[in-house]
Amino acid sequence: MPVLVMKFGGTSVATLDRIKRAAKRVSREVANGNDVIVVVSAMSGETNKLVGLVNETSPMFDAREYDAIVSSGENVTAGLMALTLQEMDIPARSWQGWQVPLKTSSAHGAARIDEIPTDNINEKFGEGMKVAVVAGFQGISAEGRITTLGRGGSDTTAVAFAAAFDAIRCDIYTDVDGVYTTDPRITDKARKMEKVSFEEMLELASLGAKVLQTRSVELAMRYRVKLRVLSSFEEYDPNAGTLICAEEDIVENNVVSGVAASREEAKMTLVSVADRPGIAAAIFGPLAEAGVNVDMIIQNISEEGRTDMTFSCPVDQVARAEAAMAATKERGEVNYQSLVSDTDVAKISLVGIGMRSQSGVAAKMFKTLSDEGINIKVIATSEIKVSVLVDRKYTELAVQALHDAFELEKV
């Protein structure tokens, strides 16, 4: 039988009534002739409550015990979903990560998936089970300990199962009805897109769109898993949501598909750095070792053997970056005059696979922002993206102006 993967997020299973509503969607897919793998998150708010209990008990907690505790929320949901389906006379069974087994690395709290053997679940499908309800977010290490995949890890679990079982599609049910051209809370002109390429969704997810976890999109792109994002609160519609697929499955590529905004950004500048071979490695190597996620990088023209180096990173990593740079200066590895941090910026990005064959996008973006009196602090580009840093107070204005300038509501 064909296999369909359905993932339900925390808001979609927040109450018993919502679990029943989700179960009805699952029953419809079973009636359509599919074997179904349902991946569930913890009920809304449960993971935060469990994390709070851990921190209250042991601020310097053992990561192995942390994983054992915070993964329990998904176990509860999986059991409740299986019971609900059984009450509907659908053969269903819950599966915890270790029962599959979903094999992961030993990096507790941020484990990577190594392998998902299909034998156990396929055997049960062969015996008449129609739905396997899998606890998302969790797996088991080579040492036999429970691991978790990090926040949003249930999305990654779902895509990984779809790849392992060669599923016809992976449906991600959430509290939004698809992927929009920008955040609908910023402009009411935002439009839901029918299709988005893997590359565009990866850029949008990494640039601030919070519909899907970035790792799940990376996995879907690597294994060509078709994803569909749709709402669990709307009536059934076989054409609902947004399909995330390969570029060749999209008939016509838009020049610009969406505008993304991330407010949690910071701009950091090393002033008067010695301009010599290896200086970039001396700066960004220690930042990487400190776990600082550097994005944009700008190096100024050298004068008298000195230059300024500017980069952006998440605002909650500024202290870590400052400590790493101070350590390199103390060791004599990087000689700089000062480190200036600006924690009041936002990153605004245009994304579209049509940029590959269309010129003038960046120029139009810059003129639009200029006409609104918005100063650009840093610019970074890729084949399908143009990003700028601006003062955070201009976030909404910048998004609205760009959405209007590229007429995304008409695409």
Q: pTM, whole model, 2 decimals?
A: 0.82
Per-residue model confidence (pLDDT) at position 209: 62
Low-confidence ranges of the chain (pLDDT < 50): none
Summarised one tens digit per residue, pLDDT across range 330-359 is 999 999 999 999 999 999 999 998 888 888
Summarised one tens digit per residue, pLDDT across range 100-115 is 999 999 999 999 999 9
> How many whole angstroms separate alpha carbon 250 and alpha carbon 139?
35
Q: Are 308 and 268 in contact (CB under 8 A)?
A: no
Backbone angles phi, psi at 110, to 5 degrees: -150, 45
CB atoms within 10 A of CB 407: 10
Tokens for 235, please give them.
């009536």
> How many whole angstroms separate alpha carbon 114 and alpha carbon 140?
10
Q: Are 172 and 155 in contact (CB under 8 A)?
A: yes
Per-residue model confidence (pLDDT) at position 238: 73
